Amino acid sequence: MDVKLPRLAEGVDSGVVVSILVSEGQEIKKDQPFIELETQKAVGSIPSPESGTVSKIHVKEGMEIAVGQLLISISTDKDSAVAKPVMGEQTGVQTPVERPAQTRSAPSPTGFEATSTPQAENYRYESKSGATPPAAPSIRKMAADLGIDLTRVKGSESGGRIVLADVRAYIQRLQQRSFEEAKEHPETGRSATTAIPSEPVDFAKWGPIRRERLSPLRRTVSRRMVESWTTIPKINQFDDADITDLLALRKKYAAAFEKKGSRLTLTTFLLKVIAAGLQKHPRANASIDESNNEIIYKDYYHIGVAVDTEGGLIVPVLRDVDKKNLFDLAKELHGLTEKTRQRKASLEELQGGTFTISNQGSIGSGHFTPIIYAPQVAILGVGQGQPKPIVVKENIAIRTMLPLCLAYDHRVLDGADAVRFLKEIITGLESFPEAQVKLK
Amino acid sequence: MEPIKTEIVVLGAGPGGYTAAFYAADRGKTVTLVEQNPRLGGICLNCGCIPSKALLHATEILREAKDSAARGIEFVAPKIDLDKLRAWKESILEKLGQGIKGLAQKRGVQVIHGRGHFEDSRTLRVETTEGQKFVSYDKAIIAVGSKPAMPSAFDLGNKRIMTSTEALEIQDIPNDLLVVGGGYIGMELGTVYADLGSNVVVLEAMPSILTGVDPDLVRPVSRAAQKAFKEIRVNTKVLKMATAGKQIKVTMEIDKQQREELYDRVLVSVGRAPNYADLGLENTRVTKDDKGFIKCNPQQQTDDPDIYAIGDVNGGTLLAHRASKEGRIAVEAMLGEASAFENIVIPAVVYTRPAVAWCGLTETEAKQKNIDIKVAKFLWGASGRALTLDRTDGLTKLIIEPDTERILGVGIAGVNAGELIAEGVLAVEMGATARDIADSVHPHPTLSETLMEAAEVFYGTATHTLAARRESA
């Protein structure tokens, strides 16, 4: 049987093969993990659906693969009882192609015969009544399993109904195109629209060097950062919050929190204050949908917290921050941070964030300009609180000032909105109500 | 005590729960099904769809016999033996319940009878007659359904004030029955009692019975109910109920005037409420929406990634077949398939006289969402089959997307509408056009022809009606 990449979680349709845990000819048991896959920012293993012998591995380490893509073939007892396939010669199986960076869905390997249905390059189904493309439930299910967007497939039947032949033709066209692009750009194997890497430099000319392969996590971080940097018109808004009183409050209750197995950190306060701020400034919690010219407002407040792990940056998400009290938040934050450091956070726990906090205070940072975690529209960069001479009521006082930088997407937020939002956060920190800290 | 280990536990054995359990077992999972009632089948089988349709069928004969006089066939007055009627109804439920039990056994689905309570996100405690049992699971499906809502103002503890559950038991045939709520449950059970001989009065707070259904589909039902029932009062609210000897004194408000009336029994059918009380949801990460129903994503997954919820507990349209479909989707999602409850056509059927059924986009919805549509309507007065059945009180209509001529929705009022709507569901799911339906030969003489004729009406070429020819057709 052919094992394809199953659907992993909502919104996750691709990943990078970190390691392959089996080899061809090896026995494999049902539920035995055979591939480690990195999706967005979690690493997980894919278990085998059947017991048998691995007859063919169709992917390589480091390869980017999408839902529905063929991973390995297993010959099971059932297979051999009928007709044992000759290794590498199974009908309908071709080596999968690396997907072009610009298409969202990878072409699935197919053994379909060529059909002549013409496909317009940039076809998109549109219905005034908002209906989805006409297609039988069986075709819709197949498209979902393959990760094919049916609005891109032109139907040939009456009323534009999409039938199997149309989907076949579409997939073949995708595959053909990706081969052609690979031929045109043999050095990258990617489409022309992808950034061309800069000229290689021989660093060894000037001294000894050492090369280390980028880990999949590093590559994911890199890809996402480039994406954010190149697509988002960004503004950085600097300010400071006077956290002298907040620190006193923390000191007063820190022991009580510890006693109950929780840790009252500055980030916990920030979470609470930001959630309240987002409720008043819904655009900072929104996303932009440029293809439909719409802003998507989210009536939930899931805040991501950047965590420094051994492998690199990972951002777990705390859900419904607005609905939780400080104690529960503190406890959850502590647990989730630990889990993330051990790379044990589940995919679900890394998804669905609407805003992100990057707190570098513990490492001693000052002001810095964080990069927005797309498709979110804003991120708060937090440095270390430092005692500073500040004018208070015409006198100079020593107050602990927290450096803050709100980076935001100017497509969604205007300067005035952003300043009001940041001021809201500062006021929240400077006058945090003690009642919210008290433990029952 | 060692917990029972299972891959999937399904809580509630209604049409959603047992479908999910069986499907998961068919797909190779170990499944445990937890049900508090001794008989499997849930509300649908025990006090919903099945018993109500049994009674509607039984009592329809009474109506048919009466109508038959005009066609030259007269019967003597019928004798009604309520005990026998109840026993017949019960025998159907028992047969179906045993059937489900047998199917569970054959699939190796372990059934535990008892109340389930979540201890945490991976453990379910079940209170059985033999004491507590613990089920340790990988994934859970909540399918506990709903129960009739009984506003506390009406809840006097008087047995004469009934919900649908008690009304289906038919303790007696009340002389005067008040039905509070003119939704589908009130109208269906009102029909049963009216057929049995009760004077039925239906009160509805909204301006029409069957709120939300397209007005042209409701019209034949109101017209027939006005004859079969004593009265239908819309825009009327019940303010108070009180026990008055062997009767119920009901205070209502009509046109800002208060009125008091006495009834032998009252059926309260004002909606249904989710059944998750005492389920221990607070020990999981499951959350609820602002209407109090369990919140889940299109994969039926709740905010607790290991717990799924299907059917009435999620709110929306409370229909058995929706729950069953959601059950299959939940199982497929657990298996890593790309299934989601999106763009799925869920037909609705109201078993009034005549029946009403619809699927896909309705005219009302199109109007609300400002969607441009064309409606092609065929009245049953021109259907030969409807005339031979002496049931011309019906209509069939197609909701069509103008540019593509695609069928977006179908609405039918008339006898057997529930059976006829299946073709509409297939048409909408397949993305069929009006031309597809018009060009498919339908057998004559049947009511199914009304779908074909409605499609022909769209092109102005219907054989049995005259309509303006469409310019572009």
- For residues A349 and A10, give the distance between their C-alpha atoms in angstroms, rounded to a whole number: 12
B435 touches B461 (CB < 8 A)? no
Which of A156, A173, A192 terminates a domain? The answer is A192
Task: Express each pLDDT in A376-409 by its tens digit.
Answer: 999 999 999 999 999 988 999 999 999 999 999 9
Same domain, A174 and A317: no
Amino acid found at B171: Q
A142 touches A71 (CB < 8 A)? no
Q: Which of A8, A135, A348 sits opposite B431 (nearest CB)?
A: A135
- For residues B233 and B179, give the distance between their C-alpha atoms in angstroms, rounded to a whole number: 10
- For residues B470 and B439, give the distance between their C-alpha atoms in angstroms, rounded to a whole number: 17
pLDDT at A119 over 70: no
Listed by number, the residues of chain B in 400-429 with a beta carbon closer than 8 Å to a beta carbon of chain A are 401-406, 408, 429
- For residues A272 and A436, give the distance between their C-alpha atoms in angstroms, rounded to a whole number: 10
**Which tokens go with B417?**
């509408």
| Interface contact B404-A6, CB threshold 8 A | no
Question: Taking the CB of residue B380, how many other CB atoms lie within 10 A of it?
Answer: 24
Cα of B43 to nearest chain A Cα, Å: 29
pLDDT at A194 over 60: no
- For residues A203 and A205, give the distance between their C-alpha atoms in angstroms, rounded to a whole number: 5
Chain A positions in Cβ-Cβ contact with residue B287 (cut-off 8 Å): 320
Residue A438: pLDDT band (50, 70, 90) is confident
- For residues A171 and A153, give the distance between their C-alpha atoms in angstroms, rounded to a whole number: 9
Residue B236: pLDDT band (50, 70, 90) is very high
- What value does the mean pLDDT take over residues B4-20? 97
Residue with tokens 């299109």: B298
Same domain, A114 and A168: yes
- For residues B324 and B327, give the distance between their C-alpha atoms in angstroms, rounded to a whole number: 5
pLDDT at B158 over 70: yes
- What value does the mean pLDDT take over residues A331-348? 86
> What is the model's pLDDT at position A9?
62
Looking at the domain assignment, is residue A204 inside a domain? no
Task: Express each pLDDT in B92-148 by its tens digit.
Answer: 999 999 999 999 999 999 999 999 999 999 999 999 999 999 999 999 999 999 999
Q: Structurally, how many domains does chain A consist of?
A: 3
Task: Encode B70-101 in three state secondary structure.
Answer: HHCCCCCCCCCCHHHHHHHHHHHHHHHHHHHH
> What is the model's pLDDT at position B467?
58
> What is the model's pLDDT at position A290?
83
Looking at the domain assignment, is residue A180 inside a domain? yes
| Interface contact B338-A147, CB threshold 8 A | yes
Same domain, A137 and A275: no
Residue A225: pLDDT band (50, 70, 90) is confident
User: What is the b/e burial string over A221-234, where b = at least 16 CB atoms within 10 angstroms of the residue's CB?
Assistant: beebeeebeeebeb
Chain A positions in Cβ-Cβ contact with residue B425 (cut-off 8 Å): none
Amino acid found at A341: R
Task: Express each pLDDT in B289-341 by its tens digit.
Answer: 988 899 999 999 999 999 999 999 999 889 999 999 999 999 999 998 888 99
Looking at the domain assignment, is residue A310 inside a domain? yes
Residue B47: pLDDT band (50, 70, 90) is very high
- For residues B281 and B276, give the distance between their C-alpha atoms in angstroms, rounded to a whole number: 8
- What value does the mean pLDDT take over residues A77-93? 42
Q: Name which of A409, A178, A421 is nearest A296 in CA terms.
A: A409
Same domain, A42 and A137: no
> What is the model's pLDDT at position A11?
57
pLDDT at A427 over 80: yes
Lowest mean pLDDT among A364-368, B19-23, B397-401: A364-368
Does the CB of A320 have a partner CB in chain B at under 8 Å? yes
- What value does the mean pLDDT take over residues A344-353? 83
- Going by DSSP bridges, is the β-strand pair B176-180/B161-162 parallel, antiparallel, or unpaired? unpaired
Amino acid found at B95: K
CA distances for B55 relative to B51, B87, B271, angstroms: 6, 11, 21
* Angle, in degrees to the nearest 10, between helices B82-107 and B49-68: 140
Q: Above pLDDT 70, what percent of chain B?
A: 98
Q: What is the CATH number of the domain that holds A376?
A: 3.30.559.10
Q: What is the CATH number of the domain that holds A30?
A: 2.40.50.100
Same domain, A337 and A252: yes
pLDDT at A101 over 50: no
pLDDT at A91 over 70: no
- What value does the mean pLDDT take over residues A244-260? 92
Q: Between A and B, how many CB-CB pairs are < 8 A?
A: 74
> What is the model's pLDDT at position A189?
44
| Interface contact B340-A144, CB threshold 8 A | yes
Does the CB of B343 have a partner CB in chain A at under 8 Å? yes
**Which tokens go with B31?**
């499944």
Question: Taking the CB of residue A191, how many other CB atoms lie within 10 A of it?
Answer: 18
**Which tokens go with A168?**
């076949």
Q: Which of A7, A67, A130 sits opposite B371 (nearest CB)?
A: A130
Higher pLDDT pick, A249 / A88: A249
HSE-CB at A300 with a 13 A cutoff on CA atoms is: 13
- For residues A33 and A49, give the distance between their C-alpha atoms in angstroms, rounded to a whole number: 10
pLDDT at B472 over 80: no
Nearest C-alpha in B relative to A300: B289
Looking at the domain assignment, is residue A213 inside a domain? no
Chain A positions in Cβ-Cβ contact with residue B432 (cut-off 8 Å): 134, 159, 161
Provide the residue range defining the domain that includes A161.
100-192
Chain B positions in Cβ-Cβ contact with residue A162 (cut-off 8 Å): 431
Looking at the domain assignment, is residue A209 inside a domain? no
Q: Which of A127, A136, A159 sits opposite B405 (nearest CB)?
A: A159
Indicate the length of chain A as a whole number: 440
| Interface contact A129-B430, CB threshold 8 A | no
- What predicted TM-score, i.e. pTM, was given to this entire model? 0.62
Nearest C-alpha in A relative to B369: A129
Residue A131: pLDDT band (50, 70, 90) is confident
- For residues B220 and B222, give the distance between their C-alpha atoms in angstroms, rounded to a whole number: 6
Same domain, A288 and A428: yes
Rounded to a whole number of angstroms, the distance between the first and last alpha carbons of chain A is: 58
Indicate the length of chain B as a whole number: 473
Task: Express each pLDDT in B419-457 by its tens digit.
Answer: 999 999 999 999 999 999 999 999 999 999 999 999 999
Q: Above pLDDT 90, what percent of chain B?
A: 91
Same domain, A153 and A224: no
Query: Mean pLDDT, chain A, as a whole number?
Result: 82
Task: Encode chain B in three state secondary structure.
Answer: CCCEEEEEEEECCCHHHHHHHHHHHHCCCCEEEEECCCCCCHHHHHHCHHHHHHHHHHHHHHHHHHHHHHHCCCCCCCCCCHHHHHHHHHHHHHHHHHHHHHHHHHHCCEEEECEEEEEECCEEEEEECCEEEEEEEEEEEECCCEEECCCCCCCCCCCCEECHHHHCCCCCCCCEEEEECCCHHHHHHHHHHHHHCCEEEEECCCCCCCCCCCHHHHHHHHHHHHHHCCEEECCEEEEEEEEECCEEEEEEEECCEEEEEEECEEEECCCEEECCCCCCHHHCCCCECCCCCECECCCCEECCCCEEECHHHHCCCCCHHHHHHHHHHHHHHHCCCCCCCCCCCCCEEECCCCCEEEEECCHHHHHHHCCCCEEEEEEHHHCHHHHHCCCCCCEEEEEEECCCCEEEEEEEECCCHHHHHHHHHHHHHHCCEHHHHHHCCCCCCCCCHHHHHHHHHHHCCCCCCCCCCCCCC
Query: Mean pLDDT, chain B, as a whole number?
Result: 94
A314 touches A350 (CB < 8 A)? yes
CA distances for A427 relative to A147, A239, A243, A295, B441, angstroms: 46, 12, 10, 27, 73
Same domain, A42 and A107: no
DSSP-derived secondary structure letter, B324: H
pLDDT at B214 over 70: yes
Higher pLDDT pick, A91 / A19: A19
> What is the model's pLDDT at position B368?
95
Nearest C-alpha in A relative to B27: A49
> What is the model's pLDDT at position A77?
63
What residue ranges define each of the domains in chain B, with the CATH number in brackets? 4-146+273-334 (3.50.50.60), 161-270 (3.50.50.60), 354-459 (3.30.390.30)
Same domain, A367 and A237: yes
| Interface contact A128-B371, CB threshold 8 A | yes
Lowest mean pLDDT among A29-38, A363-372, B58-67, B81-90: A29-38
Q: What is the largest CA-CA distance in chain B?
A: 77
**Which tokens go with B435?**
């031309």
- What value does the mean pLDDT take over residues B249-257? 92
| Interface contact A134-B303, CB threshold 8 A | no
Residue A145: pLDDT band (50, 70, 90) is confident
- What value does the mean pLDDT take over residues A169-191? 72
Cα of B297 to nearest chain A Cα, Å: 9
Highest mean pLDDT pick, A96-110, A162-176, B397-411: B397-411
DSSP-derived secondary structure letter, A349: G
> What is the model's pLDDT at position A197?
58
Cα of B37 to nearest chain A Cα, Å: 35
Which residues are registered as beta bridge partners of B182?
none
pLDDT at A97 over 60: no
- What value does the mean pLDDT take over residues A36-47? 70
Residue with tokens 């509805």: B204
Same domain, A4 and A25: yes
- Going by DSSP bridges, is the β-strand pair B31-35/B4-11 parallel, antiparallel, or unpaired? parallel
Chain B positions in Cβ-Cβ contact with residue A127 (cut-off 8 Å): 401, 404
pLDDT at A416 over 60: yes
> What is the model's pLDDT at position A43?
66
| Interface contact B431-A128, CB threshold 8 A | no
Task: Encode B256-311 in three state secondary structure.
Answer: CEEEEEEECEEEECCCEEECCCCCCHHHCCCCECCCCCECECCCCEECCCCEEECH
- For residues A241 and A301, give the distance between their C-alpha atoms in angstroms, rounded to a whole number: 22
Q: Name which of A21, A67, A83, A31 is nearest A52 in CA terms.
A: A31
Same domain, A366 and A383: yes
Looking at the domain assignment, is residue A199 inside a domain? no
Report helix, strand or coil for A328: helix
- For residues A425 and A415, give the distance between their C-alpha atoms in angstroms, rounded to a whole number: 15
Looking at the domain assignment, is residue A303 inside a domain? yes
DSSP-derived secondary structure letter, A321: G
Which residues have C-beta within 8 Å of that of residue A331, sequence separation ≥ 6? Answer: A261, A262
Q: What is the CATH number of the domain that holds A146?
A: 4.10.320.10
Strands (E), B297-420: 307-309, 348-350, 356-360, 374-379, 395-401, 406-413
Which of A96, A121, A136 terminates a domain? The answer is A96
A407 touches A234 (CB < 8 A)? yes
Amino acid found at A118: P
For chain B, the 3-state helix, strand and coil shares in percent, each to the nearest 5, are 35, 25, 40
DSSP-derived secondary structure letter, A114: P
Q: Name which of B287, B328, B282, B279 is nearest B305 in CA terms.
A: B287
- What value does the mean pLDDT take over residues B258-274? 95
Higher pLDDT pick, A98 / A351: A351
Looking at the domain assignment, is residue A147 inside a domain? yes
Chain A positions in Cβ-Cβ contact with residue B335 (cut-off 8 Å): 6
A40 touches A313 (CB < 8 A)? no
- For residues A396 and A380, give the distance between their C-alpha atoms in angstroms, rounded to a whole number: 28
Q: Above pLDDT 90, what percent of chain A?
A: 39
pLDDT at A268 over 80: yes
> What is the model's pLDDT at position B64?
93
Report helix, strand or coil for B216: helix
Q: Which of A6, A129, A155 sits opposite B401 (nearest CB)?
A: A129
Q: Which of A129, A134, A320 sits opposite B431 (nearest CB)?
A: A134
Same domain, A83 and A112: no
Cα of B148 to nearest chain A Cα, Å: 30
Q: Name which of A318, A328, A329, A383 is nearest A356 in CA terms.
A: A318
